[in-house]
Homo-oligomer: A and B are copies of this chain.
Amino acid sequence: MNTRQRLDAMRARQPAPAGMAMRTAPASSSLPNWPQRVSFCPPGMQERGGECVSGVCAPRVHPLIDAARNAELAEYERTVRQRFDAIVPALREIAAQQHEAGFEQRAQQIARERLGFELPQDVLADAWVTTLDMRTLYGHSVLQTYHALARDFTARWNGHAEAEAMHRFFIECGFHEIDISPCADGRLKGLLQFVLRLPYQAVRRRKSYAGAMFDVELNVRQWTETELRRFREGLPTLSDAGTRYLKIAVYHFSSSDPHHEGCAAHGSDDRKAAQAAIDRLAAFRTAIENGFCCGASVATLLIGVDTDNDAIKVHVPDASGEMSTECFVDNLAVYHQTTGMAASEARWRLGAAIDEAVREQGRSAPEAGMRRLIERLLTNNLSQIDYVCAQHNGRYADIGHAERFINIGDGFDEVHLRNLAYFGHLYTIEEGAADMDVGIKIFSGLNVARGLPIPIAIHYRYDEQVPGSRERAVARCRRIKAAIAARYPTLAKDGLLFCGMTVQGKAPGSAQEEVSDIDTNSHGH
C-alpha cells in the first residue's frame, strides 16, 4: 500500500458520518487497517507518541497564541460535538424498544436524559402501526440539538466588550464596517470564531455563497445602507472620517488533498477559486466607484483557508488595493518559523512575512491600516493553527465534508463550528438553486446514502421595527420549504428532507422562534 493508497483509504473513511465521534485522530486504535509503523503516517505527518502529527506542529510553545481562548474553544467544540454525537446512539436505543410496553414514556425519558429535549409525541404514538419513523426522529433531533445549543449560547453570551473592542480596532485600521463572504462549505462554518478569532458581533455582515461568489448588487445595497447611516447618524463613523467599508471574500483549499477536497464550486482548483473571488471583489469595488460620485470606494481583501488545518493565506493588497493570486502570506509557514521564538521576535517575523510577500512579487506595500489588520488576522490565526495541533494533531480527521445539517437563508449567529452546517445565504430557491444543489449533493453522500434524511434549518431574520416584517419572514420560510420540496421531489417523497423553520428579530439577543407548517393566522394580507 503506497502513500496514495493510504490517503485514499483514509479518505474512504471520511467524511465521518454525522453522529459518529469526529475528534478521533488517525491513531492506530481507531483505524484497524492503519499499520502501526511510523513510516505509514501520511505525507506531512510525523509519528509522535504513537500518533501521526502534522510536521508543522512543533512540540515547543508558540509565543503568540491565546492559550486561555484555545482552552475555552476546545471545551466548546467538545460540548457541541458530544451533543450531536449523542443523537444516533440514543435513537438506536429508542428504536430497539419500540415494541415494548410503555414505549412512549420510556422513549421520552431517554430523549430527555441523553439529548435534552423531547421527541414528537405523534411519531412515537404511531410506531405500533407499522414501525417507528426514524427519519423524522433523526431530523427533529439534529435541529433540536442545534436549537438547544443556540439557546444555551444566547443565555450565557457576555462578549459585548470584546466585540466592541474589535470594532474599535477595525475603525482604527480605517474600516467602519467589515463584510465577509466565505464559501458556503461547512468546513468554513467556524471561520469567525475559530479560524480568524473575530467576535461575530464585530462583523456585521456575513453571507456565505457556494464558491464565495457573493451577490454584487445586494452588496451595493448594503454598502448604501451603511453609508447613509454614517451621513444621517454619524455611526459607526462620521461621513468625513475617511474610513471605508471592507469587503472580505474567503475561499478554501485542502493542502493534503488539493484536487479533491478543495472548493467544489471551482472544481477543487484553488487558483481558480482565488481568481474568481478577486474578480468578484473587483466588480463590487468598480460598482461603487462608478455608481457613486465624489471618490466613493471600498476596500477589499481576499483570504484563503486550508480546511485541513485552518491555516490562512492572506492575499496582500498593494497600495492601490489591487490583489493577485500569487501575492499572499502563508500563515502555516509563519507559524512554523515563529514557534519557539520570543513574542517580540515572532511579531517582527510576522510583519516581515508581509514585506517579503510584497517584495517577492514586486508589488507596492499595503496601506498602513490594511497592513495592521492583516497582522492582526495572521496573529489571531496562529492561535487556531496551534489549536488544531493540540486538538487534532495538526490535521482534521474529517478533512472532507461532515456537516450535520444545511442552514438556508440568514445565518445563525449563535453556534459556529467547523463542519457544523453547510450555509447558503439566499432569499429564493429560484435564485439560490446552485447553492442549494451543492448542499443537497453533499448530504446525499453524508446522509441519504445511509438512509438518513437531510436536516435543513430554514432561518430568516426580521426587523421588529417594520410592520409586517415578521409575517413576511414567516411566509418566506414556508415558501422556501415548499420550493425545496418542489426542487427535490424524490427526496421529499421518500421522507429524506427534514425542514425546520425559524425566524428571529434583528435586535441583538432576540430568540429564535420556531415556525409551524400551518398558517394559523392567514386572514388579511
Residues of chain A whose beta carbon lies under 8 Å from any beta carbon of chain B = 213, 216-217, 220-221, 224-225, 227-229, 231-233, 239, 276, 279-280, 282-283, 286-287, 290-294, 296, 427-431, 463, 465-469, 472, 479, 483, 525
Contact = CB atoms under 8 A, between A and B. Distances in A.
Contacts of A483: 430
A225 B223 CA distance: 10
B221 A221 contact: yes
B232 A294 contact: yes
Contact of A293 (B233, B293, B428, B429): B233
Given A231-B231, A427-B431, A428-B431, 20 more contacts: A216-B472, A217-B463, A221-B221, A224-B225, A224-B228, A227-B231, A228-B228, A228-B292, A229-B292, A232-B294, A233-B292, A276-B525, A283-B466, A287-B465, A290-B466, A291-B463, A428-B428, A430-B430, A430-B479, A430-B483
A238 to B, nearest CB: 12
Contacts of A229: 292
Could you say which of A224, A290, A296, A479 has the most chain B C-beta atoms within 10 Å of its C-beta?
A224
Given A429-B430, A430-B430, A483-B430, A467 B231 contact: no
Copies of this chain in the oligomer = 2
Closest 7 CB pairs of A and B: A290-B465, A231-B231, A283-B467, A287-B466, A428-B430, A430-B430, A428-B428
A169 to B, nearest CB: 25
A283 B287 CA distance: 31
A84 to B, nearest CB: 31
B232 A293 contact: yes
A422 to B, nearest CB: 20
A306 to B, nearest CB: 23
Could you say which of A225, A239, A427, A479 has the most chain B C-beta atoms within 10 Å of its C-beta?
A225
Contacts of A430: 428-430, 479, 483
A77 to B, nearest CB: 35
Nearest to A473: B217
Contacts of A224: 221, 224-225, 228
Contacts of A294: 232-233
Contacts of A227: 228, 231-232
B468 A232 contact: no
Nearest to A288: B466
A429 B483 CA distance: 11
Contacts of A525: 213, 276, 279-280
A500 B292 CA distance: 33
A200 B276 CA distance: 39
A318 to B, nearest CB: 20
A124 B94 CA distance: 69
Contacts of A217: 463, 466, 469, 472
A291 B232 contact: no
Contacts of A283: 466-468
B465 A291 contact: yes
A283 B524 CA distance: 14
A487 to B, nearest CB: 10
Contacts of A220: 466
Nearest to A476: B431
Could you say which of A216, A231, A430 has the most chain B C-beta atoms within 10 Å of its C-beta?
A430
A216 B466 CA distance: 8
Nearest to A266: B525
Contacts of A280: 525
